[in-house]
Amino acid sequence: MASGVFNIGATSIGDGAIDFLTGTIKVMLIGTATAYVFEPDNANLGVASGPSASELSVTGYATGFASADRRTLASKTVASDLTNNRTTFDAADPAAWTLSTGGTVAAAVVYHHLTSDALSVPLFYLDFTDVPTNGSTFTLAFAATGIGYLQNG
């Protein structure tokens, strides 16, 4: 599985409905207990087969819309990458989570947080090698090239 951009997220950023810099942008962790297959057409977090249905379920990570474990991103940036003809989106890495044993972190979803999962808009799907939880901290480090990008032209 590869990382990707949700279509509704790209459209909402492009038409100005979402301002990445001033909007509340959060990240949630995806586990393996309920498999999630990245679907770029997911229109919100709450669709039946959407990201929230596969949110990580392990002690140390509270699931659900109002959970403090869905971390708000800080120090957000949007930049033009003229060499690669794209616009990149980035933020500071979120604080680490302390997770008990018994779960596996498979991915993360960066999204625009609104008043419910049914209204919150997924932006970027970040796939990485599965990480079994073992009672220590889990750190999500965004790539040096940013969280994600929209290709120009």
Domain range list for the chain: 4-75+97-139
Q: What is the pLDDT of residue 52?
A: 93
Q: What is the pLDDT of residues 87-128, one digit of tens each?
A: 999 999 999 999 999 999 999 999 999 999 999 999 999 999
Q: What is the pLDDT of residue 55?
A: 96
Q: How far apart are CA 32 and CA 89, in angstroms?
A: 26
Q: What is the pLDDT of residue 129?
A: 94
pTM given for the model? 0.96
SS3 label, residue 62:
coil
Contact criterion met (CB below 8 Å) for 28 and 51: yes
Q: How far apart are CA 34 and CA 23, in angstroms?
A: 29
What is the strand order of the sheet 104-112 is part of? 4-5, 121-132, 104-112, 25-31, 71-72
Q: What is the pLDDT of residue 1?
A: 56
Q: How far apart are CA 62 and CA 40, in angstroms?
A: 25
Q: What is the pLDDT of residue 33?
A: 87
Q: What is the pLDDT along the chain (153 residues), one digit of tens a residue?
A: 589 999 999 999 999 999 999 999 999 999 998 889 999 999 999 888 889 999 999 999 999 999 999 999 999 999 999 999 999 999 999 999 999 999 999 999 999 999 999 999 999 999 999 999 999 999 999 999 999 999 987
The residue type at 91 = A
Q: How far apart are CA 43 and CA 85, in angstroms?
A: 26
Q: How far apart are CA 5 and CA 111, in angstroms?
A: 11
SS3 label, residue 112:
strand
